Amino acid sequence: MASAINCPSCKSKIRASDNLAGRKVKCPKCGQLIAVPGQTHLGPAAAFIQAESMPQPALQTPAIVPNTSFDTSFSNLEEDDRPARRRAHSDASTRGGAAHSLGIGSMVLGVVALLFSFIPCIGAFSMPLSGLGLLLGITGGVVALCRSGRGIGFPIAGSAINGMAFVIALFWLGLASATHKAFIQPIKEENATNQRIEEGNKSSGVQSASENPAPPKNEDAAWADARKLVRQGDVQVGISSVTIDQVQLLDLGQPSISKDKLLVIRLRIGNVGQTRKIEYESWGDTSHLIDHHFPSLKDNFNNNYRRITFGVFTRVKDQLSSESIRPGTSVEDVLVFEQPIDRINYLRLELPASAFGGKGKLRFQINAYGQYAP
């Protein structure tokens, strides 16, 4: 059976077989889509569309039209192609889904890394997050490019955010490195033991020395026995004597003596080089407002002992202020500290090497009082 329908566009009358009921077909004249009314009936009868203006036979004999007639007579009948377009769009969306997911993951990691990267001191620790996010973003971009560029927006945004976080983290890392070189490293060098411990302690304070032995393996090994010499560069330092006694003073050039007994350490500083003078600024000099070469003295109980001063116009006899030490010569200097407590096992004396242009500190351990020079 065939039903007659009117084209709403060109007003032509067309007939469609019942098996097209409920579907949309194109008008043979104007191409307008027309909905075929009625219920869908399944059967072997062929469907056809014929315009009202076409000549019709006076008498038609019902016949079963083979399937081939259905295919040939309806070659110009097209259904609505919107479902096909929707399926194609769905397939394309599926193809771009992988890049989309990778891009979102990259953006999430990038946002977290960016927030952490702005925090001083711990900003450098965001580098693993930003590195992983950058990897995801680049991977998502490659996948999108391989699939006609669909879903490439999120990978690009994620890569940009992670790249920014990574650069900020690198800035903090560089700043930490610069701070370490500018402040921490000089402090470590200042407190390091840059000395050679040499056998013997001649009264001249100047003797030849072998090359520097292996660095000390523990803290105790970094302290030289007071009976030995220590050397840094061309400078050789030894302790001549350690006594507890009243100190001889010069008060405006007039000799005097201290009221109390104090710890007196006599040092000998020698230049073992051959071509360079050593400019020495005394460890005991108190004339400077800012003392760059302040020595320290501690006992085995970790008690600190103050260096003793006697005023602007009073100085210790034989104590130097500054001196140029020529090659092959030596000078003597005097340090005065408050008297140590009883029952100590040893004293440890630290002398900053900056007093003669060196680095680090010279360290002596004084196990007993007495004369160390023969």
pLDDT, tens only, 106-155: 888 888 888 888 887 777 788 888 889 889 889 888 888 887 777 788 88
Report, in this order, helix, strand and coil percent for the chain, each rounded to 5.
Answer: 30, 25, 40
- CATH, domain range 196-371: 2.60.40.1240
How many CB atoms within 10 Å of residue 69? 14
DSSP string, 94-155: HHHHHHHHHHHHHHHHHHHHHHHHTSTTTGGGGHHHHHHHHHHHHHHHHHHHHTTTTT-HHH
Q: What span, in angstroms and rounded, lies between the C-alpha atoms of 167 and 243? A: 62
**pTM (whole model) above 0.75:** no
Roughly how many angstroms between the first and final C-alpha of the chain, as a whole number?
138
Residue 295 near residue 335 (C-beta atoms within 8 A): yes
How many CB atoms within 10 Å of residue 294? 15
Radius of gyration of the chain (CA): 50
pLDDT, tens only, 149-179: 777 888 888 889 988 888 888 888 888 777 7
How many CB atoms within 10 Å of residue 252? 8
**Domain spans of the chain, in order of start:** 2-73, 94-190, 196-371
Exposure string for 191-216, b = 16+ CB within 10 A, e = fewer = eebbbbbbeebeeebbbeeeeeeeee
Residue 74 near residue 20 (C-beta atoms within 8 A): no
Which of 372, 330, 364, 359 has the alpha carbon at shortest distance from 232? 359
Strand 322-325 and strand 224-225: the pairing is: unpaired
pLDDT, tens only, 42-65: 444 444 444 444 444 444 444 444
pLDDT at 255: 92
